[in-house]
Amino acid sequence: MKVFDVVGFDNGYDCVKIVVGPGEEDKVLFPSVTHQPDPVSNFSIFSISKISNNVTFNKEKMIIEYQGKEYYVGDYAVSQDARGGTKNFSDEKFQEPSEIVKFLAGISLFTDDDKIKINNLVLGLNVEKYNQYRDKMIKVFKDKTFEYKLSKSDKITQIEIKNVICVPQGIGAYYDQALTLEGSPSNDELANSRFGLIDIGGKTVDAFISEGMEPIVGTDIGIQYGMSNSFKNVAENLGDDIPYNLIAQNYLKGEESIFWKGKEYNVIENCKKGFNQFAQKVYDEITKTWDQQLYRTRSVLLCGGGARIVGDELSEMLPVEVNVLNNPQFSNANGYYKLGVYNSRKSRAAKSLKSKQVKDKRDKKNHA
pLDDT score for 53: 52
pTM: 0.87
Residue partners of 105: CB distance under 8 A and separation at least 6: 62, 64, 71, 73, 74, 150
DSSP string, 90-120: -TTGGGSHHHHHHHHHHHHTS---SEEEEEE
Comparing 122-131, 152-161, 297-306, 359-368, which segment has the lowest mean pLDDT?
359-368
Query: How much is the average pLDDT of 81-110?
Result: 94
Distance CA 25, CA 267 (A): 32
Where are the strands (E) in the chain, listed by range? 2-11, 15-19, 27-31, 34-35, 62-66, 69-73, 115-125, 144-150, 157-168, 194-200, 205-211, 214-215, 221-223, 257-260, 263-266, 299-303, 321-324
* pLDDT confidence band for 181 (50 / 70 / 90): confident
Backbone angles phi, psi at 138, to 5 degrees: -60, -40
For 192-227, write each residue's pLDDT tens digit: 889 999 999 999 999 999 998 788 999 999 898 999
Arch. (CATH architecture) of 194-328:
2-Layer Sandwich (3.30)
The amino acid at residue 81 is D
- DSSP at 57: P
* pLDDT confidence band for 86 (50 / 70 / 90): very high
Return the domain boundaries, the chain. Answer: 2-168, 194-328
Which residues lie across from 157 on neighbouring strands? 148
For 126-166, write each residue's pLDDT tens digit: 888 899 999 999 999 999 999 999 987 889 999 999 999 99
Domain 2-168: what homologous superfamily?
ATPase, nucleotide binding domain (3.30.420.40)
